[in-house]
Each structure stands twice: as structure tokens, then as C-alpha cells.
A and B are shown apart, each in its own frame.
Chain A
């Protein structure tokens, strides 16, 4: 089946690195995504990774994928107060839909 799990909360200090973790169950998933949702807003795609990659870096964002353990992480370097939001991990389902984790609320303290 298709299911995605995430820790619900993360609190960091401004300037520190944040690491948000996610596990998924469908080993046939070809693409995995990280979306950001600010309060009252829609979802913004931050980055994605193809299943044949181990790592992808995009400016302050680093995605690590461990296919064997079905574990995905998002590292945000030099976290800023503007990074405070809910972060959703998502896998692409067999019908092209997105299956989201429950979301991790990131709080950044000044």
C-alpha cells in the first residue's frame, strides 16, 4: 500500500540546520517531493528527488534518500524565521496523484 509518515513538530533556533524526516512504504515510488505550506496558503513545491538518486542539493536545501530503508530527509541549512511553516513529504502514487505525509510543523526561534 501507499503510506507516508513524518514527525509532527520540529523547533530550531535561527541559523541552525533543520532536518525533517519522512518514511514511505511504496518501494515502487519513482518521485518523492517536499512541499511547504505557510498558514492559510496553498502548497509550494520546494524540491523533489528521483528514486535512482541518493542526494540532491538546491541552495540551502539538501534531500537525502535511503531507498533500502524507504527514508527521505530534508535538511534546511541556516534556517530563517521565514522558513517557519508546515513541510509535507509526498510520494507519487500509482495513478499520478500525490500521497502526503501528515506534515511537520517547523518553528524557528530568533
Chain B
């Protein structure tokens, strides 16, 4: 199983809503990532978890709250988002965070629209 799954595929939410994005992998990978991709732009790193601990937070606003409940799951909790947060949110995983060639496997993404 070399797949990263993400749910939901699409999400529309208001600025006062609370929602969560979910990501799952069963490849035994110990590093998991959240990227944000705006239209016609490259993905930008948001968070990295390594061995279920937050390793990198790229100065992301606190309205985005990541969580790694176990080595297979990664969540992104959303609260009080702004319309400019509308984007494709991509999850990825890799064997390790730093050592060697570290292929990152990407999920299909969640297309988020904030009204």
C-alpha cells in the first residue's frame, strides 16, 4: 500500500465554522507533512511531524492546528479561517524526515473554500 489518503476531497466552510482535515498512510512512514497550495502556485510547507512530534511549524497562523494522534494519522484542525485561506491542502509522508533520499508521497489533497 503506497497510498496517502485525504478526507474530505472538498470542503466549504464559513469563517465561524470549525472543521478538520484528515490524512492517513499505512506505509510505516515516520514523517508526515502538511502543505498549502494556492491556485497556480507551488506547494508551501506548513507543518512537519517526525515520530509523532511537531518538528517544523512554518509560522502558520494559530487558526490552523495540526495533530498527529498516531504514526498513521495526521489531522489539521481549522477554526475561524479567512477567505484567503481557500486553497488545496496537501498531505505527504516519507520514511524519515531528514536522512537520505526521502521520497515524499502525496495525497490527492482537500480543496478548501472559505466563504
Chain A interfacial positions (CB closer than 8 Å to B): 31, 35, 40-45, 48, 50, 88, 92, 95-98, 100-103
Contact = CB atoms under 8 A, between A and B. Distances in A.
**Interface SS majority for chain A:** strand
Interface of B: 4, 6, 31, 33, 40-45, 48, 50, 55-56, 90, 92, 94, 96-98, 101-109, 111
Contacts of A97: 33, 45, 48, 56
23 contacts: A40-B111, A41-B108, A41-B109, A42-B107, A42-B108, A42-B109, A43-B43, A43-B90, A43-B92, A44-B106, A45-B103, A45-B105, A50-B101, A88-B43, A95-B48, A95-B97, A95-B98, A96-B31, A96-B98, A98-B43, A98-B104, A102-B41, A102-B42
B86 to A, nearest CB: 15
A9 B56 CA distance: 32
Most buried by A among B31, B98, B107: B98
Given A40-B111, A95-B56, A96-B31, A45 B97 contact: no
